[in-house]
Amino acid sequence: MNSMRSTLLSINNLKKYYPVTAGIMQRRIGDVKAVDDVSFTIGDSEILGLVGESGCGKSSLSRSILRLEEPTSGTIIFDGRDITFLGKKDLRALRKEMQIVFQDPDASLDPRMTIGDSIAEALIINSKGTDTEREQRVTELMAQVGLETRYRSHFPHELSGGQKQRVGIARALAVNPRLIIADEPVSALDVSIQAQILNLLQDIQKQLGISYLFVAHDLSVIKHMAHRVAVMYLGKIVEIGDKRDIYANPLHPYTEALMSAVPSIKSKAQGRLLLRGDVPSPLNPPSGCRFHTRCHRVMPICSKEEPQLNELRPDHCVSCHLYR
Give residue 54's pLDDT band: very low, low, confident or very high (50, 70, 90). Answer: confident
pLDDT at 264 (0 to 100): 53
Tell me the whole-structure pTM to 2 decimals.
Answer: 0.91
- Asked whether residue 107 carries a pLDDT value surpassing 90, the answer given is no
Q: Which fold has domain 7-97+177-323?
A: Rossmann fold (3.40.50)
Residue 33: which of 234, 191, 171, 185 has the closest Cα? 234
Q: What is the mean pLDDT of residues 173-195?
A: 92
As a whole number of angstroms, the distance between CA 315 and CA 241 comes to 5
Q: Which band of pLDDT confidence, cut at 50, 70 and 90, is reported for residue 254?
A: very high
Mean pLDDT confidence for 274-289? 87
Whole-number pLDDT of residue 192 = 86
Average pLDDT over residues 102-114: 90
User: Which is it for strands 211-216 and 47-51: parallel, antiparallel or unpaired?
Assistant: parallel
Question: What average pLDDT does the structure give for the chain?
Answer: 91
Nearest in space to 38 (alpha carbons), one of 221, 190, 240, 184: 240
Ranges 2-16, 65-79, 214-228, 260-274: which has the least confidence = 260-274
pLDDT at 25: 84
Confidence at residue 263, expressed as pLDDT on a 0 to 100 scale = 64
Q: What is the pLDDT of residue 81?
A: 94
The mean per-residue pLDDT over the stretch 256-280 comes to 71
140's enclosing H/E stretch is: helix 131-144
- pLDDT at 266 > cutoff 50: no
Picking from 30, 81, 66, 18, the residue whose alpha carbon sits closest to that of residue 215 is 66
Identify the bridge partners of residue 75 per DSSP, sorted by sequence position: 12
Confidence at residue 179, expressed as pLDDT on a 0 to 100 scale: 97
Using CA atoms, how far apart are residues 206 and 58, in angstroms rounded to an integer? 24
Domain span(s) for CATH 3.40.50.300 in the chain: 7-97+177-323
- List Cα–Cα distances, 150 to 105, 142, 176, 289, in angstroms: 19, 10, 24, 54
Per-residue pLDDT reduced to its tens digit, 170-179 = 999 999 999 9
Q: Please check whether residue 143 is in contact with residue 117, taking contact to mean a CB–CB distance below 8 angstroms.
A: no
pLDDT of residue 271: 63
Q: Do 251 and 86 contact (CB within 8 A), yes or no?
A: no
Task: Dump pLDDT digits (tens) for 117-170.
Answer: 999 998 998 888 888 999 999 999 999 999 999 999 999 999 999 999 999 999
- Report the pLDDT value the prediction gives residue 265, as an integer from 0 to 100: 47
> What is the pLDDT, as a whole number, of residue 60?
95
Cα angle 82, 214, 6 (rounded to 5 degrees) comes to 45
